[in-house]
Amino acid sequence: MPNYVVVTGAAGFIGSNLVRALNARGEKRIIAVDNLTRADKFKNLVDCEIVDYLDKKEFINRIQHGDFDGEIAAVLHEGACSDTMETDGRYMMENNFRYSTILLDWCLEQEVQFLYASSGATYGGGGVFREARQFEAPLNIYGYSKFLFDQVVRQRLPDAASQVAGFRYFNVYGPRENHKGRMASVAFHHFQQFRETGRVKLFEGSHGYANGGQLRDFVFVEDVAEVNLFFLENPDKSGIFNLGTGRAQSFNDVAVAAVNGCRALEGEDALSLEDIIGRGLLEYIPFPEALKGKYQAFTQADIGRLRAAGYEKSFAPVEEGVARYIQWLAQQ
């Protein structure tokens, strides 16, 4: 009887949160797969229980040689290059598209549950975020790599005898993203900035939005893990699903939550956006040239399909999620 759960990208941000969530539900027979060229990611797994660790290339080699036939119950595929500024298209397609296709084909052949990370970047700059081909127009090679794999999934789904579920993550933030550098969430950077300089930074207005007014669907990583585990426990549910809160909030909202979270650590009262600006605790910086034409100034997941699949739990708003995250960061 198959008894292992594989998590790829297990030492990364979302992957390590999934391992922790599985552990919390009593699942310890986890094979962690990753590429630890960036060795500091190992810290994300220190408090996790796994039975084995495999390098990504070794894992692919072993499944292609039949080593795990009949032994794996599910693959949670989070392994990817998530740098939206990456310009090496060959690397991006090899890492995100080809790797995913190999795993998909193996899981379908073995009838293994396959849950994977897609991205809200598949939609690009459009204003409709619904899981349908006509709304998808990625702005960068990262978004394209995720988009193209989703097309393969759509082709395979009608004949699939086992679960295939893809999640289009919107702006995920929360614990265990320290290793991501420039690609870490705004909330993470705000915590660091406030600790170092006593102020946080946001982009000036762009795309018709006022300073810090650009809107994104910010989703707390614990909610992301909850959705993954819901599908893992409901193997009859397949498809591609948006995974956001369904509610766009401004970057200013994130800044306010981060500043007030940091102030709460010192026993100081919460401030309004106006007070934060007035006290010089928030600085607006010029919009970067490198992001022009490649930036989503508005995202808001349509979560109708997720709700229709039976997922009923509420999602943490920025005010709640960032406050919890700041507490976690302060304890590290």
Residue from 180, 209, 237, 284 carrying the catalytic annotation: 180
Contacts of 131 (CB under 8 A, 6+ apart): 168, 239, 240, 241, 242, 302, 305
**Residue 209 known to be catalytic:** no
The amino acid present at 115, given as its one-letter code, is L
Q: Does 180 participate in catalysis according to the annotation?
A: yes
Catalytic residue among 123, 142, 169, 325: 142
Q: Tell me how far apart the terminal alpha carbons of the chain are, to the nearest angstrom.
A: 39
Backbone angles phi, psi at 53, to 5 degrees: -125, 135
Compute the Cα dihedral for 181, 249, 171, 119 and give only its sign. Answer: negative
Alpha-carbon distance of 145 to 327, in angstroms, equals 35
Q: Which residues are bridge partners to 203 per DSSP?
A: 285
DSSP string, 317-328: -HHHHHHHHHHH
Residues with Cβ < 8 Å from 61, sequence gap 6 or more? none
Buried b / exposed e along 8-42 (16+ C-beta atoms within 10 A): bbbbbbbbbbbbbbbeeeebebbbbbbbeeeeebe
User: 78 and 106 in contact (C-beta within 8 Å)?
Assistant: no
Residue with tokens 């978004």: 143
Please identify every residue annotated as catalytic: 142, 180
